[in-house]
């Protein structure tokens, strides 16, 4: 197993190129189940989760070819009626996002058997809303032996009001109701850029989805098993969480970094909070610059995570590492996931002073963090520890970095290029 060794205390300087978005790519790959013709993905990020999503389609019987081109993967996906409608436990358990095959398989085959994904490090993460979506569209659902079995001769347009925003359930509703007979109106939906991108892809394939980027979608179902498919290759948007992670790392180390191939509007709230903390943020043609080289003391800033355009839960852990070295006290309220504070114990090991109760963390900024061996517990928690390690005096060892490789492309290399002392080693 690999681990990262970071000698902290060096400000990050230079420029970094952001990769394509993992969270946009995953549902887009699953949506290719609905396509009549082969789909080319032009710029998939080289991440284990993306690899895994493509492997799911392959194991289901789809034809997938992958080629490395520069830092990207170019993939051609062709899903035909010979494929299977069963996604077994071994495929689904490794990545929760695999649940998003349920709707497309049901729409394409009239039946789908998908293993329940199970819990994960950041909470129980149920799939009840995914099931509710399928039932509302007319599917019969049974849950047996750890599997969801969904059947529907015909999916029918419906009205759905989500009790709270779910990214995955919104995306499931889009992919499935696009194929139903009649119109669906879906309220309180995810407005995340990744969801909007999925909508654009589905529309380019022949779906009729209106209201993308608002809280209500109107979807005119095509009453078909497949969509014709897109007329040009699919290009995935830049990863706003990766961009945000580098932005916070630049601020925390009091460095100056140009973040290229990033869409600042996608993380407006993070950039706003960085400015509030006393850092300069300036937009550029294809991204933005974070300049903390003249920041004397980092001002504490409270955050509350919420669905887009609120503060992303996927940047909460990184923000906590940053606030650990702020000049004063701050709070973080986690509103999306229960149990998403596992990184606190590890930040402690670096000398952070944090208490928490329920979904609120109270951070007392300290002058310095100190390097120590720590353990990554999930994807974003590992990014938080990398930031902690970059700030800390001395050496930090981060174990179980396979978590970080799920969602950050070449993070050690990109950080090295910014002047960080970071190496990847084998246990
Ligand atoms: C997606 C992102 C993940 C991000 C999260 C919130 C992908 C691949 N993953 O995850 O990185 O942290 O959005 O922005 O895009 N819930 C239910 N029942 C359900 C579904 C969800 O109760 O059927 C709950 C979850 O437990 C959570 C909340 O709803 O508390 C939001 O989760 P959701 O938005 O669905 O997250 P994901 O789509 O799994």
Q: How far apart are CA 324 and CA 300, in angstroms?
A: 9
Of 122, 336, 406, which is best to mutate to test ligand 1, by the most ligand atoms within 8 angstroms of its C-beta?
Answer: 336
Q: Whose CA is nearest to atom 21 of ligand 1?
A: 166
Catalytic residue among 58, 74, 116, 120: 120
E-strand ranges in 278-339 read 280-284, 287-291, 303-304, 329-333
281 CB-near residues (< 8 Å, 6+ apart): 247, 271, 274, 275, 288, 289, 290, 291
What is the CA(337)–ligand 1 centre distance, in A? 8
What is the CA(295)–ligand 1 centre distance, in A? 35
Whether 120 is catalytic: yes
Closest C-alpha among 240, 249, 90 to residue 167: 240
Question: What three-state secondary structure class fits 89?
Answer: helix
Pick left, alpha or beta for residue 209 (phi over 0 → left; psi -120 to 50 → alpha; otherwise beta).
beta
Residue 194 alpha carbon, nearest atom of ligand 1: 15
What is the CA(3)–ligand 1 centre distance, in A? 28
Q: Whose CA is nearest to atom 38 of ligand 1?
A: 168
Residue ranges and CATH numbers for the domains of the chain are 2-19+238-426 (3.65.10.10), 22-220 (3.65.10.10)
What is the CA(16)–ligand 1 centre distance, in A? 28
Give the pair of three-digit tokens for residue 248.
């916070």
CA dihedral 262, 265, 269, 274 (to 10 degrees): 50
**pLDDT in single tens digits along all 427 residues of the chain:** 899 999 999 999 999 999 999 999 999 999 999 999 999 999 999 998 999 899 999 999 999 999 988 889 999 999 999 999 999 888 888 888 889 999 999 999 999 999 988 655 555 568 999 999 999 999 999 999 889 999 999 999 999 999 999 999 999 999 999 999 999 999 999 999 999 999 999 999 999 999 999 999 999 999 999 999 999 999 999 999 999 999 999 999 999 999 999 999 999 999 999 999 999 999 999 999 999 999 999 999 999 999 999 999 999 999 999 999 999 999 999 999 988 999 999 999 999 999 999 999 999 999 999 999 999 988 989 999 999 999 999 999 999 998 899 999 999 999 999 999 999 999 8
- Strands of the sheet containing 63-69, edge to edge, are 39-45, 72-78, 63-69
Q: Is 0.95 topped by the overall pTM?
A: yes
pLDDT at 124: 57
What is the residue whose two structure tokens read 């799920």? Answer: 406
CA dihedral 166, 172, 174, 177 (to 10 degrees): -130
Contact by Cβ (8 Å): 219, 208: yes
Q: Whose CA is nearest to atom 11 of ligand 1?
A: 314
pLDDT at 123: 55
pLDDT at 90: 84
* Ligand 1 binding site (Cβ under 6 Å of any ligand atom): 23, 26, 96-97, 123, 125-130, 166-169, 194, 313-314, 336-337
Q: Whose CA is nearest to atom 17 of ligand 1?
A: 126
Residue 171 alpha carbon, nearest atom of ligand 1: 38
Of 31, 52, 103, 125, which is best to mutate to test ligand 1, by the most ligand atoms within 8 angstroms of its C-beta?
Answer: 125
pLDDT at 103: 97
Residue 167 alpha carbon, nearest atom of ligand 1: 34
- Cis amide leading into 309 (omega within 30): yes
What is the CA(93)–ligand 1 centre distance, in A? 16
What is the CA(65)–ligand 1 centre distance, in A? 29
């Amino acid at each position: 197993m690999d681990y990262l060794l970071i000698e902290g205390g060096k400000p990050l300087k230079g420029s970094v190129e952001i990769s394509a978005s993992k969270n946009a790519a995953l549902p887009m790959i699953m949506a290719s189940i609905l396509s009549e013709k082969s789909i080319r993905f032009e710029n998939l990020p080289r991440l284990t989760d993306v690899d895994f999503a493509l492997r799911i389609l392959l194991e289901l019987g789809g034809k997938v070819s992958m080629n490395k081109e520069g830092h990207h993967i170019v993939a051609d996906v062709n899903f035909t009626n010979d494929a299977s409608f069963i996604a077994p436990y071994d495929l689904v358990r490794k990545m929760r996002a695999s649940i998003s095959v349920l709707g497309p398989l049901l729409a394409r085959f009239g039946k789908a058997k998908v293993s329940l994904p199970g819990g994960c490090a950041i909470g129980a993460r149920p799939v009840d809303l995914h099931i509710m979506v399928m039932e509302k569209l007319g599917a019969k659902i049974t849950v047996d032996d750890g599997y969801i079995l969904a059947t529907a001769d015909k999916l029918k347009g419906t009205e759905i009001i989500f009790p709270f925003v779910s990214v995955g359930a919104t995306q499931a509703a889009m992919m499935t109701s696009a194929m139903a007979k009649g119109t669906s109106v879906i309220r309180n939906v995810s407005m995340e850029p990744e969801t909007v991108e999925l909508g654009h892809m589905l529309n380019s394939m022949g779906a009729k989805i209106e209201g993308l980027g608002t809280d209500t979608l109107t979807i005119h179902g095509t009453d078909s098993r497949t969509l014709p498919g897109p007329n040009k290759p699919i290009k995935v948007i830049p990863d706003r969480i990766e961009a945000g992670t580098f932005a916070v790392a630049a601020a925390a180390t009091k460095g100056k970094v140009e973040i290229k191939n990033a869409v600042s509007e996608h993380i407006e709230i993070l950039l706003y909070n960085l400015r509030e903390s006393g850092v300069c943020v300036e937009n550029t043609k294809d991204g933005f610059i974070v300049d903390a080289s003249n920041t004397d003391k980092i001002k504490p800033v409270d955050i509350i995570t919420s669905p887009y355009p609120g503060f992303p839960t996927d940047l909460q852990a990184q923000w906590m590492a940053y606030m650990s070295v702020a000049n004063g006290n701050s709070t973080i309220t986690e509103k999306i996931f229960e149990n998403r504070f596992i990184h606190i114990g590890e930040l402690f090991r670096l000398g952070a002073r944090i208490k928490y109760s329920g979904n609120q963390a109270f951070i007392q900024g300290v002058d310095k963090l100190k390097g120590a061996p720590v353990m990554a517990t999930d994807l974003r928690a590992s990014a938080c520890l990398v930031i902690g390690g970059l700030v800390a005096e001395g050496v930090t060892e981060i174990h179980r970095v396979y978590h970080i490789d799920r969602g950050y492309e070449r993070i050690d290399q990109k950080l090295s290029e910014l002047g960080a002392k970071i190496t990847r080693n084998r246990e």
